[in-house]
Structure 1
Amino acid sequence: MKILITGGAGYIGSVLTPILLAAGYEVTVVDSFIFRQNSLAECCHYDTFEVVRGDCRDQALIKDLLKDADAIIPLAALVGAPLCARDQVGTQTINQDAVEMICRLASPQQRILMPVTNSGYGIGEAGKFCTEESPLRPISLYGVTKVAAEKAVLERENSITFRLATVFGMAPRMRTDLLVNDFVYRAFYDRAVVIFEGHFKRNYIHIRDVAKVFLHGLENFEAMKGKAYNVGLEDANLSKLELCAKIKEHLPNFVYLEAPIGEDPDKRDYIVSNQRILSTGFTPDWSLDRGIKELIKGYTILRNSIYSNV
């Protein structure tokens, strides 16, 4: 099977692409490489790997690349509230418009497997799990564009969407701004963090389990198509304070305090049920504890010290 991945050099793509290649898939990645990353260097020895430097919004380019694709995985996106706020036009055109374009250009036979976000649930009801049938009430531009893109993808039927929990874990194209990754980094280097609105809850999933769920979707596509699937850890619907307590189990010198004033600009607060994806036979491999241990090893290697003498 030939797979086209947009944004395949990013955080998720840098883990997913080599896993797909190792599993025997032919993979073409189109990426703008705006972060000047070399995250796909290890893939270049595969004869079944092709890479194109380009923009996912380039209709002529995407139309040409789609000719040989059996399945499309649109990963290209501007992610995170700060980045989306800085580039609202890019957020709209990359996160939504480019995906809608793929839906128009792809044939009915071509499969689309797309990651979206469970942040589309916005603010959930206290004590009530969000399922795939729960109303979508995104409260950020990122969430709004992802919900709209998901609607376009699911309307074509020969598609699957994965509503990912907050992703964590090490990757060749690392992101330290994601909540677990960020808190572990602060615990490891700063040994302290101040939390705003620590009762806000989220669900979490390791990046290698994200790659695993794409493989699962490809292998079980006919049985799964036409639906959205929450993808997270059933035992990791945690508040920010609960997350910090978990990190402290691994880094005992970590001190965390909840600010008595101030607020978090990210107002997401919900708990999520992942029973639909589990009912298909998918099981995550990575617990939160295992991921924290991995991040500690990773941050022993990585240090954001570009302007430091240490």
Structure 2
Amino acid sequence: MKRILVTGGAGYIGSVLSKKLVEAGYDIVVLDALIYTGVGVDALQNHPRFRLIPGDIRDLDLLKTALTGVDCVVHLAALANDPSAELNPALTRQVNLEIYPALLNAAAATGVKRFLNMSSISVYGVSHNENLTEDDPVNPLTEYAVCKARSEAIVRASNRDDFTTVSLRCGTVCGWSPRMRFDLCTNTLTAYAIVNRKLAVWGGMQKRPQIHIGDVTNYLLALIEIDKEVGGKIFNAAGHNTSVREVAETIRAVMKGAVELEDGPAREDERSYTVSSEKISRELGLTPEFSIKDAVAGIVDAHQRGLWCNPDDVLYHNVKRMAAMEKAAAC
């Protein structure tokens, strides 16, 4: 496959993936609404194999233009995370769910051979099970998770012999990106530790799946070309089942003890769940190459190089940016 369309390709995951795809020799088309600016792909703008199409995924004419000559679609465009989704549920449903039939039909009609869909382990909702697998029932509890679960079903139903569809359920992503987010667990804690030299750990024994952005993008890169039978399948990409306290201890270790950990009583929400990535390892041979420590070290290094300063800037927080844009539009 030679030409790849990455929807949301200027975003947190997309900007890292776009760079890797260009470096791997692909022709890349990015369709992105640029809600968080195009800073994530600024370094690619003059590359002969990179094209940025600013625009809304719901613009079907623009979508068809972006699909011209494309062999594979990596669909990342979404209103990402629960707070952003709850801010405007109607818009969330349009972008995160209702666009899917038109997007899939347009892709298949223009000759796209493979469609990779970004999903989330949030589809499992609250669970007391250990090592949840793809065979466990989904129980989405938020607007964001409901859209992800329903979109998986649409993607799976669209699979056929000449149109391969796959969904990747990711854990919470962490690590440095040129379109950085500081509203994700490890990223938030690392930034707070750098700025304040202390971290409050309220209990912190609950575990959540977290995956390095390098592994997410490597998995997507592999799924573009992998010739094993993947059509209609869903794969967990949970990364590491890590507690908040373990993340905090990792941050302190990376910063060579220059962070004070403040203990406090456990919060009421100490839900803990783990997710298994055994299927993607067994069937496709894909396993994490990067650790939580690597994610922390990358963020620390970016700060030392002057790539970020104020982690509270609205551009680093999806819901803050969305709220600011809605407020501006209402004026």
What TM-score do the two structures reach when normalised by structure 1?
Answer: 0.90
Q: Please give the residue correspondences for 1:180-259 in structure 2 after superposition, counting only pairs within 5 Å.
A: 180-195=186-201, 198-233=204-239, 236-251=240-255, 252-257=257-262, 259=264
Is contact 1:4–1:27 with CA below 8 Å preserved after alignment? Answer: yes
Is contact 2:12–2:178 with CA below 8 Å preserved after alignment? Answer: yes
State the SS of the aligned residue for 1:57: coil
Indicate yes or no: 2:258 matched with 1:271: no
Match of 2:149 among 104, 122, 147: 147
Unaligned runs of 5+ in 1: none
State the SS of the aligned residue for 2:188: helix
- Relative to structure 1, the CA distance from residue 255 to residue 120 in structure 2 (aligned partners, 3 Å threshold; closer, same or farther) is farther
CA RMSD of aligned residues (A): 2.2
Moved over 4 A (4+): 261-264
- Read off the aligned partner of 2:75 and give its amino acid letter: P
- Read off the aligned partner of 1:37 and give its amino acid letter: G
Partner of 2:178: 172
What TM-score do the two structures reach when normalised by structure 2?
Answer: 0.84
- Give deviations 1:220-243, integer Å, cap 9, x for gaps: 14422221111133xx21222222
State the SS of the aligned residue for 2:148: helix
- Give deviations 1:2-37, integer Å, cap 9, x for gaps: 111111100011100011111111111111112223
- 1:257 to partner: Cα distance: 4.1
Is contact 2:168–2:237 with CA below 8 Å preserved after alignment? Answer: yes
Q: Please give the residue correspondences for 1:106-185 in structure 2 after superposition, counting only pairs within 5 Å.
A: 106-107=107-108, 110=112, 111-126=114-129, 128-157=130-159, 158-185=164-191
Indicate yes or no: 2:248 matched with 1:260: no
In the alignment, the residues of structure 2 paired with residue 24 and residue 112 of structure 1 have an alpha-carbon distance, to the nearest angstrom, of 19
In the alignment, the residues of structure 2 paired with residue 87 and residue 258 of structure 1 have an alpha-carbon distance, to the nearest angstrom, of 36
- Relative to structure 1, the CA distance from residue 261 to residue 208 in structure 2 (aligned partners, 3 Å threshold; closer, same or farther) is closer
- Give deviations 1:65-122, integer Å, cap 9, x for gaps: 2232211111111112222221222211111122332123221762101111111111
- 1:196 to partner: Cα distance: 5.2
Is contact 1:201–1:271 with CA below 8 Å preserved after alignment? Answer: yes
Partner of 1:90: 91
Give the percent of matched residue pairs that are identical in Structure 1 and Structure 2: 31
State the SS of the aligned residue for 2:183: coil
- Give deviations 1:108-150, integer Å, cap 9, x for gaps: 7621011111111112224x21111111112221111111111
- Give deviations 1:265-293, integer Å, cap 9, x for gaps: xx864201111111212232211122211
- Read off the aligned partner of 2:65 and give its amino acid letter: D
- 1:61 to partner: Cα distance: 1.5
In the alignment, the residues of structure 1 paired with residue 189 and residue 289 of structure 2 have an alpha-carbon distance, to the nearest angstrom, of 22
Partner of 1:14: 15
Unaligned runs of 5+ in 2: 314-331
Tell me whether 238-247 or 269-278 shows the greater mean CA deviation: 238-247
Indicate yes or no: 2:309 matched with 1:303: yes
Tell me whether 186-195 or 130-139 shows the greater mean CA deviation: 186-195
- Read off the aligned partner of 1:210 and give its amino acid letter: V
Is contact 1:132–1:228 with CA below 8 Å preserved after alignment? Answer: yes
- 1:161 to partner: Cα distance: 1.0
- Relative to structure 1, the CA distance from residue 20 to residue 144 in structure 2 (aligned partners, 3 Å threshold; closer, same or farther) is same
Is contact 1:247–1:292 with CA below 8 Å preserved after alignment? Answer: yes
Is contact 1:160–1:225 with CA below 8 Å preserved after alignment? Answer: yes
Tell me whether 108-117 or 208-217 shows the greater mean CA deviation: 108-117
Tell me whether 92-101 or 170-179 shows the greater mean CA deviation: 92-101
State the SS of the aligned residue for 1:272: coil
